[in-house]
Structure 1
Amino acid sequence: MIRTPLRPLARILRARERGENPDDIEAENRRRRHEEIQDRARRRAEGRLILMACCFVLAFGTVGVRMGALASGEPAEPRTQVLSAQIMSQRADITDRRGRVLATNLLTHSVYAHPHQMIDPVGAAQGLARIFPDLDVERLTRDFTGNRKFMWIKRKISPEQMQAVHDLGEPGLLFGPREMRIYPNGDIASHILGGSGFGNEGVSSAEVIGVAGVEKAFDAWLRDPANEGAPLSLSVDLTLQQAIEDVLASGMNVMNAKGATGILMEVASGEILAMASLPDFDPNDRPRPLLTGEPSDSPLFNRAVQGQYELGSTFKIFPVAQALDLGLINPSSGINAKAPMRIGRFLINDFHHYGNELSATDVIVKSSNVGTVRIAQMIGVDRQKEFLEKLGLFVPTPIEMVEGATGQPLVPPRWPAVTSATVSFGHGLAASPLHLAAAYATIANGGKRVTPTLVHGRQRPEGEQVLSPRAAAMAVDMLRQVVTRGTARQANVEGYEVAGKTGTADKPRASGGYYKNKVIATFASVFPASDPKYVLIVALDEPSVETAAGESRTAGYTAVPVAAELIRRVAPLLGLEPATDEILPTIAARFEPRVEPGEAPEIKLVANQ
């Protein structure tokens, strides 16, 4: 903008010529200039007022529209979103089938340090070492007096520990809220639950994630806010689980076993009511994995799911049941049991000489290797493999645990005649006790395939008909006779009609071959035999017990008494009333083996010299 001069020369000269005062011209120009300045200021102020008015109208209009939308919408409960909601979203509880809590959350605190804000770093280190004895006072002192700006002290502390740290009065020690996962029942069902740990974490929050078991298998579900905190209901019954763990622990001690496994499964649904693996651990203080030695030496190892064992004579019912289904034999059919039996350059023997012929039922009752192989030869390799595959013995069980996928059965890559023979009596194919439980449940379920599960009440598709109901019923009757007059007579618990089969298999060496004095003793049972409802598997790792006849490792003297005590303990809890009111002896007395013919370890294949 070009400003007009206050004293323009031309006008000043003309004014002097006319005798006028030039100062009037300056005064007039100054007045006009001030008026223009005032006009511009007025227009600017008016513009600002208009702009502010528009902003207020827009803001209040927006609020009004939003309020109108809320007022006209459907009423709903508001959902609060807090800071760090992604991390702090609560993990759902895990309960047993009756709603009893197996895993839940607890609000606790962490403690961390800002060493640069400390007044007395040395005193703080000494005080923390008194509160937390596992901390190294010298290392804390080095860290507090060094250049570190931040360090964790403890990620989980109790209220008492928090108060003790607070009483130190050190401004450089700070607390952060967080959730922690607790297991109120301690080591009960520890292998099923698995455990949890911290994922993403900060000083004010921490993400709880599953690290094993169902905690990891259902990690996304347990953390999903869409479930609105609904608990995960497992098929496990806490009372049954504790009973099985208690009896297994006592039996493992009495039988001097290295480890033990117990599985109780409902036949009709496949739901696992209890599943134990000993030794176990406390998921509240989960131990570190072993870096050396055998995996089974670690308490974290789940023998029921991850263990790959040759399960011995418990497999003998499979070829017999298949032959019954195919119409190749009936329970009274005569089977050539003359031993030894030659296959190529190998000989197969029985522990005892059972004569030249046995009925098909007595092949199971007496646990004849030779008789079982003869029946397997009638079936043929292809049909044998197809049947075992239908039973689920070639693939990992689809159990809802991350460990389930690691339980891949060890299946022979080739099936010559000798492999078919050894597999028929439980050698050469290694599977988990859970595989065995599912296969026996299939037989007990009228031949309809049973898939094990740890989730309660889930709708599942009906299983494939693997055996005819008639063949399955005959197989259960044979298993019943094993208990009444065969190698499992100590399992004949009065009132419960137990049916089952023993199996004693030598443990393989990592370097090849088998141990001479280490076995896996297994008893697979079904009860009640007249109306099968439950399957119970008991397996002992390296048992050994003194009998009147000397030391014994066979399942008849080790796994069977433990299973019998388990049935006595859990059957009433399942609503099965015994037919007798006899006063039962103590567990130690029941485990005292009687001098009866028991099943010895099957004879391994020996090359014919």
Structure 2
Amino acid sequence: MSFLSRLMLVKSKAHFSADVRRGRVVTGGKARNFDGIGKRKAEMARRRVGLIILAFTAVYGVIGVRLMHYGYAQPESTSSIMPPDRLMASRPDILDRNGQVLATDIRTVSLFAEPHKIVDADEAIEKLQTVLPDLDARDTYKRLNSKSHFQWLRRQLTPKQQSQILALGIPGIGFRPEKRRFYPGGSVASHIVGFVNIDNRGMAGMEKYIDNQGLADLADLGMTSNARLEPVKLSIDLRVQNIVHDVVMNAMINYKAKGTGAVVLDANTGEVLGMASYPDFDPNKPEEGAKEGWLNRMSNGTFEMGSTFKSFTLAMGLDSGRVKLSDSFDARYPIKIGGFTIHDLHGRGTFLSVADIFRYSSNIGTAKIAQTVSIPDHKAFLTRLGLLTKMNTELPEVKMPSQPREWRPVNQITIAFGHGVSTTPLQTAVAGMALVNGGKLIPPTFLPRSREQADEMAEAVIRPQTSADMRYLFEYNGVIGSGRNARVPGFDVGGKTGTADKVVNGRYDHKLNFNAFLAAFPIKNPRYVVLSFCDEPHDGEGGMLAANTAAPIVRDIIRRSGSILGVEPDFGQAGNGMLVSY
């Protein structure tokens, strides 16, 4: 027998040797007893199954507790997002006087991310750029890798964009419902209505005025809701507003001007029925007009108004009782004062009546009328008309006028014909309103106001007779003077032009003008006041004067809106006969 065979036989016998501690082993044809070993194995199996059951129970217990925690947990709030109820807070609709919508809320959604749930930031950005090609990849990557639990990715998506992003199935990306402000008219009334920021807060115009009345405070306190608010009705007539906007826009193009503007006021209530300043902006995309369009030149820009100020100087002289319409003044020679020489652009070289001083826009004659009143009285008169103080109205964008720190005799003379004091075009129109409506200064308003309400707040600033004299002068100038280009058949327009040289580097530049025209119609019993301006026109010879730029703006506005405003054209006896013949 080999060595290996013997070794195997010895190992086999050793394996089956008797051991009283492990049980009996029967050899030689007898059965072997394995009861001890089987019991031990069964016991170990039961222990293992018990441990497995215990482990599964513990795991599912933890999951259950975590689910209960999520179920009872409060919504997570972060510093980068407002509470959902505040995001959904409504703004009131803004309407024109006839109920046409100027601004309203529309529902939209905004895209956000929860960075701690983002699996692969690069992949998420690649997918999002298929829907939002202009998405800034670098900025978005920083947001998705930040330690915060919330990051805005894009505000105010379209429904199509939302649907496409949902189809991408990106983990950690979600949507929040919001409100977006929509302006159906675009830029037509932008400087009046204003605009809101991305969080639907008023930033300019009547939108900001509404917030200043308490809406912003309520939003900050979380007291606003998704319920529709009572709409805010403005005084403007959208039909008139469209006309004013269209006319000033075309005027800027036609006269190659730096800016244009116009306003239509109710002469008896102070209501603004239409006002536009161009360039302007689209409140749906306000950022695109940031360079030039945001400036409302009508109320937030101050200018030397030129010869339109002669209206106030003549009214001051007439109201003081020191000047009468029948008086004449020597306008033959220039006035030399304080190193300056005052002369007439269209000098007649003769004595001029008060009416002809107004008609020919005589600087010399106007200066001599101003000198009939003391400097303190002159300053007090312009203050009484609201030309030297900040205008009081709902629109937030209102600029303070400027005047000399100390009024000297030379200042009185230059201010008499519109140099030395800068005011806003809107407050010039408001002061002009007092000259023709019987002498009542009425604060302008962009909200509806009745005649009775206006009478309660009106302040008498000149005598009714002075107002009657000024209506005569406006009509006289409108028929045979510089206002002829503003005449509209049947509407009896009267007014005063103003061509002012602009100051450049401390000196007046005769090549740069600010042109204005102050008008009223029907002038015998004015219902409306219209003021237009054309800043730095460059339309060649003749186009530099207000009679050829600002006056036609007024003409076009009245021609197109007069009937809408309820003014019935009057063509006189000849016109009545013509109408009867048809």
Alignment TM-score, normalising by the size of structure 2? 0.79
**1:544 maps to what in 2?**
538
Tell me the amino acid that sits aligned with residue 430 of structure 2.
Answer: A
Instruction: Please list, as runs of the form range in 1=range in 2, the aligned pairs for 1:430-469 lying within 5 A after superposition.
Output: 430-457=422-449, 459-460=453-454, 461-469=456-464
Alignment equivalent of 2:332, drawn from 307, 324, 338? 338
Instruction: Measure, in 1, the Cα distance between the counterparts of 2:555 and 2:288.
Output: 35
Please identify, of 143-152 and 113-122, the stretch whose mean Cα deviation from structure 2 is larger: 143-152
SS of match in other structure, 1:163? helix
SS of match in other structure, 1:265? strand
Instruction: Please list, as runs of the form range in 1=range in 2, the aligned pairs for 1:140-151 lying within 5 A after superposition.
Output: 140-141=140-141, 143-144=143-144, 149-151=149-151
Please identify, of 274-283 and 321-330, the stretch whose mean Cα deviation from structure 2 is larger: 321-330
**2:554 maps to what in 1?**
563
Alignment equivalent of 1:428, drawn from 416, 420, 424? 420
SS of match in other structure, 1:538? strand
Aligned length: 480
Instruction: Measure, in 2, the Cα distance between the counterparts of 1:278 and 1:162.
Output: 36
Instruction: Measure, in 2, the Cα distance between the counterparts of 1:218 and 1:357.
Output: 55
Instruction: Measure, in 2, the Cα distance between the counterparts of 1:143 and 1:110.
Output: 15
For 1:496-546, what per-residue CA distance to the aligned partner results, in whole angstroms no more than 9, with x for missing partners?
11010000111122x322233111110110111011010101001111223
The CA deviation at 1:101 is: 1.2
Tell me the amino acid that sits aligned with residue 527 of structure 2.
Answer: K
**1:588 maps to what in 2?**
none
Instruction: Please list, as runs of the form range in 1=range in 2, the aligned pairs for 1:58-73 lying within 5 A after superposition.
Output: none
**1:589 maps to what in 2?**
none
Percent identical among aligned pairs is 37
Alignment equivalent of 1:209, drawn from 198, 201, 220? 201
SS of match in other structure, 1:545? coil
For 1:36-64, what per-residue CA distance to the aligned partner results, in whole angstroms no more than 9, with x for missing partners?
xxxxxxxxxxxxxxxxxxxxxxxxxxxxx
The CA deviation at 1:248 is: 1.1
Instruction: Please list, as runs of the form range in 1=range in 2, the aligned pairs for 1:56-455 lying within 5 A after superposition.
Output: 85=85, 88-141=88-141, 143-144=143-144, 149-199=149-199, 208-221=200-213, 223=215, 229-287=229-287, 298-404=292-398, 407-455=399-447
Instruction: Measure, in 2, the Cα distance between the counterparts of 1:198 and 1:146.
Output: 23
The CA deviation at 1:333 is: 1.1
Instruction: Measure, in 2, the Cα distance between the counterparts of 1:569 and 1:331.
Output: 34
**1:554 maps to what in 2?**
545
Instruction: Measure, in 1, the Cα distance between the counterparts of 2:361 and 2:212.
Output: 47
Tell me the amino acid that sits aligned with residue 287 of structure 1.
Answer: E
Note the residue ranges of structure 2 that are not aligned, 5 or more in a row: 1-82, 219-223, 575-582
The CA deviation at 1:124 is: 2.4
Instruction: Measure, in 2, the Cα distance between the counterparts of 1:270 and 1:146.
Output: 55
Q: 1:333 to 1:282 in 2, by over 3 A?
A: same
Instruction: Measure, in 2, the Cα distance between the counterparts of 1:179 and 1:114.
Output: 22
Q: 1:514 to 1:135 in 2, by over 3 A?
A: farther
Does the aligned pair in 2 maintain the 1:339–1:350 contact within 8 Å? no
Instruction: Measure, in 1, the Cα distance between the counterparts of 2:145 and 2:518.
Output: 63
Does the aligned pair in 1 maintain the 2:282–2:289 contact within 8 Å? no
1:489 aligns with 2:491: no
Instruction: Measure, in 2, the Cα distance between the counterparts of 1:487 and 1:251.
Output: 19
Please identify, of 366-375 and 243-252, the stretch whose mean Cα deviation from structure 2 is larger: 243-252
Tell me the amino acid that sits aligned with residue 436 of structure 1.
Answer: T
Instruction: Measure, in 1, the Cα distance between the counterparts of 2:178 and 2:105.
Output: 10
SS of match in other structure, 2:355? helix
Tell me the amino acid that sits aligned with residue 112 of structure 2.
Answer: Y
The CA deviation at 1:228 is: 7.4
For 1:447-498, what per-residue CA distance to the aligned partner results, in whole angstroms no more than 9, with x for missing partners?
1112111111363533221111111111111011111111121112111110
**2:568 maps to what in 1?**
577
Does the aligned pair in 2 maintain the 1:99–1:233 contact within 8 Å? yes
Tell me the amino acid that sits aligned with residue 565 of structure 2.
Answer: L
The CA deviation at 1:210 is: 0.8
Instruction: Measure, in 2, the Cα distance between the counterparts of 1:494 and 1:485.
Output: 14
For 1:367-406, what per-residue CA distance to the aligned partner results, in whole angstroms no more than 9, with x for missing partners?
00000000000122121111100100111111202112xx
The CA deviation at 1:443 is: 0.9
The CA deviation at 1:355 is: 2.1
Tell me the amino acid that sits aligned with residue 462 of structure 1.
Answer: M
The CA deviation at 1:431 is: 0.1
SS of match in other structure, 1:89? coil
For 1:207-234, what per-residue CA distance to the aligned partner results, in whole angstroms no more than 9, with x for missing partners?
x321111111221447366997211111
Q: How large is the RMSD of aligned CA atoms in angstroms?
A: 2.2
Does the aligned pair in 1 maintain the 2:542–2:548 contact within 8 Å? no
SS of match in other structure, 2:111? strand
Tell me the amino acid that sits aligned with residue 441 of structure 2.
Answer: R
Instruction: Measure, in 2, the Cα distance between the counterparts of 1:551 and 1:474.
Output: 30
The CA deviation at 1:319 is: 1.5
Instruction: Measure, in 2, the Cα distance between the counterparts of 1:371 and 1:130.
Output: 73
Does the aligned pair in 2 maintain the 1:331–1:359 contact within 8 Å? yes
Instruction: Please list, as runs of the form range in 1=range in 2, the aligned pairs for 1:466-481 lying within 5 A after superposition.
Output: 466-481=461-476
For 1:130-154, what per-residue CA distance to the aligned partner results, in whole angstroms no more than 9, with x for missing partners?
3223212344345445656432111
Note the residue ranges of structure 1 that are not aligned, 5 or more in a row: 1-82, 200-207, 291-296, 583-609
Does the aligned pair in 1 maintain the 2:155–2:198 contact within 8 Å? no
For 1:40-99, what per-residue CA distance to the aligned partner results, in whole angstroms no more than 9, with x for missing partners?
xxxxxxxxxxxxxxxxxxxxxxxxxxxxxxxxxxxxxxxxxxx85455432111111111
Does the aligned pair in 2 maintain the 1:96–1:102 contact within 8 Å? yes
Instruction: Measure, in 2, the Cα distance between the counterparts of 1:329 and 1:118.
Output: 83
Does the aligned pair in 2 maintain the 1:339–1:348 contact within 8 Å? no
SS of match in other structure, 2:381? helix
Instruction: Measure, in 1, the Cα distance between the counterparts of 2:133 and 2:430.
Output: 48
Instruction: Measure, in 1, the Cα distance between the counterparts of 2:234 and 2:113.
Output: 41
The CA deviation at 1:287 is: 1.4
Does the aligned pair in 2 maintain the 1:523–1:538 contact within 8 Å? yes
**1:505 maps to what in 2?**
500
Does the aligned pair in 2 maintain the 1:92–1:222 contact within 8 Å? no
**2:30 maps to what in 1?**
none
Does the aligned pair in 1 maintain the 2:346–2:360 contact within 8 Å? no
Instruction: Measure, in 2, the Cα distance between the counterparts of 1:220 and 1:425.
Output: 39
Instruction: Measure, in 2, the Cα distance between the counterparts of 1:264 and 1:210.
Output: 25
Tell me the amino acid that sits aligned with residue 363 of structure 1.
Answer: I
1:527 aligns with 2:521: yes
Instruction: Measure, in 1, the Cα distance between the counterparts of 2:338 and 2:148.
Output: 73
Q: 1:571 to 1:358 in 2, by over 3 A?
A: same
Alignment TM-score, normalising by the size of structure 1? 0.75
Instruction: Measure, in 2, the Cα distance between the counterparts of 1:86 and 1:283.
Output: 23
Larger Rg: 2
Please identify, of 455-464 and 550-559, the stretch whose mean Cα deviation from structure 2 is larger: 455-464
Please identify, of 572-581 and 162-171, the stretch whose mean Cα deviation from structure 2 is larger: 572-581
